Structure 1
Amino acid sequence: MNYINKITLLFLLSISVSFAQEKLSKEDAINLALENNYGIKIADSNLKIAKNNKSILNSGYLPTLTGNAGATYNKDNTEAIFANNEVSILKGAKSNRFNASLNLNYTLFDGLGRLYNYKQLKEQYNLTELQARETIEKTLLQLFTVYYKVALLTENVALLTQSLKISKDRLTRVNYQFEYGQNTKLFILNAEVDVNNDSIALLNTNQLLLNAKRDLYVVLGKKENPNFYVDTQVNFLTKLNKQELFGQVKTNNVSLLQIQRGIEISSFQLKANKSGYLPTIGLTTTYGWSKSNNNSASFLLESTNTGLSTGFNFKWDLFNSGRTRTQIQNAKINYDIQQLSKQQKELEITRDFNNAWEEYKTKLFIFQTQEKNVETNKRNFSRTEEQFKLGQITSIEFRQAQVNLLNAQSNLNSAKYDAKNTELKLLQLTGDLLNTEF
Structure 2
Amino acid sequence: MKYLILSISLLSALSIHAQEPLSLSDAIQIGLERNYGIRIEHRNVQVAENNNTWGEAGRLPTVNLTLQSQNSVRNQQSDNLFFGGQLFPGFELNNQQTYGMTPGVTVTWNIFQGNRAIISKRRLDQLHAESEQNAEVVVANTIQSIILGYYLAVLEQQRLSEFKKQLSLSGDKFEYIQTKYDLGGAVTSDKLLEENNYLTDSASVLNQQLALNNAFRNLNLLLAKDDINTKYLLTDSLAIEDITYAYDDLVDAAFNQNVDLKKIYISQAILGANTALQESSRYPTVSLNGGYNWNRNVSNLTDARYSGPNPDYQNPPEPLVSKTGTYFANFTVSFTLFDGNRINRAIKNAMVQEDIGNIRIDQLKKNVERDLATAYDQYLVRKQLLAINERRREAAEINLQNSEEKFRNGSINSFDYRDVQNNYLSAAILELQATYNLIDSKVSLMRLTGGLVRAYNP
Which range, TM-score by smaller chain?
over 0.9
What is the TM-score normalised by the length of structure 1?
A: 0.92
CA positional deviation for 1:326: 0.9
CA positional deviation for 1:346: 0.8
- The equivalent of 2:220 in structure 1 is 217
Counterpart mapping for 1:197-236 below 5 A: 197-224=200-227, 225-233=229-237, 234-236=239-241
- The equivalent of 1:13 in structure 2 is 10
- Residues 370 and 412, structure 1, Cα contact 8 Å, conserved in 2: yes
Task: Select which of 50, 56, 59 maps to 1:58.
Answer: 56
- Residues 110 and 288, structure 2, Cα contact 8 Å, conserved in 1: yes
Equivalent residue pairs, number: 434
Aligned mates of 1:437, 1:317 — CA distance in 2: 54
Partner-residue secondary structure (3-state), 2:273: helix
Identical-residue share of aligned pairs (%) = 24
- The equivalent of 2:122 in structure 1 is 119
* CA shift in 2, pair 1:240/1:358, >3 Å: same
Report the residue type matching 2:3 in the other structure: K
- Residues 107 and 290, structure 2, Cα contact 8 Å, conserved in 1: yes
- The equivalent of 1:431 in structure 2 is 450
Aligned mates of 1:96, 1:179 — CA distance in 2: 116
Counterpart mapping for 1:297-336 below 5 A: 301-336=320-355
Aligned mates of 1:99, 1:71 — CA distance in 2: 6
Aligned mates of 1:148, 1:209 — CA distance in 2: 11
- Residues 263 and 338, structure 1, Cα contact 8 Å, conserved in 2: yes
- Residues 69 and 101, structure 1, Cα contact 8 Å, conserved in 2: yes
Aligned mates of 2:83, 2:44 — CA distance in 1: 73
Aligned mates of 2:279, 2:349 — CA distance in 1: 12
- Residues 152 and 232, structure 1, Cα contact 8 Å, conserved in 2: no
Runs of at least 5 residues in structure 1 that lack an aligned partner in the other structure: none
Aligned mates of 1:21, 1:78 — CA distance in 2: 92
- Residues 28 and 456, structure 2, Cα contact 8 Å, conserved in 1: no
Task: Select which of 13, 29, 32 maps to 2:30.
Answer: 32
- The equivalent of 2:99 in structure 1 is 96
Report the residue type matching 1:230 in the other structure: L
- The equivalent of 2:295 in structure 1 is 290
* CA shift in 2, pair 1:237/1:262, >3 Å: farther
Report the residue type matching 1:50 in the other structure: A
* CA shift in 2, pair 1:155/1:97, >3 Å: same
Report the residue type matching 1:8 in the other structure: I
Moved more, 216-225 or 60-69: 216-225
Counterpart mapping for 1:259-408 below 5 A: 259-294=264-299, 301-408=320-427
CA positional deviation for 1:35: 2.5
Moved more, 170-179 or 273-282: 170-179
1:11-69 deviation digits (Å, cap 9, x = unpaired): 11122221321122212221222222222222122111111121233111111001122
- Residues 123 and 273, structure 2, Cα contact 8 Å, conserved in 1: yes
Task: Select which of 67, 71, 74 maps to 2:72.
Answer: 74
Q: Which has the larger radius of gyration?
A: 2
- The equivalent of 1:150 in structure 2 is 153
Partner-residue secondary structure (3-state), 2:365: helix
Runs of at least 5 residues in structure 2 that lack an aligned partner in the other structure: 302-314
Counterpart mapping for 1:243-254 below 5 A: 243-254=248-259
* CA shift in 2, pair 1:334/1:402, >3 Å: same
* CA shift in 2, pair 1:250/1:85, >3 Å: same
CA positional deviation for 1:95: 3.0
What is the TM-score normalised by the length of structure 2?
A: 0.88
CA positional deviation for 1:82: 10
Aligned mates of 1:95, 1:140 — CA distance in 2: 73
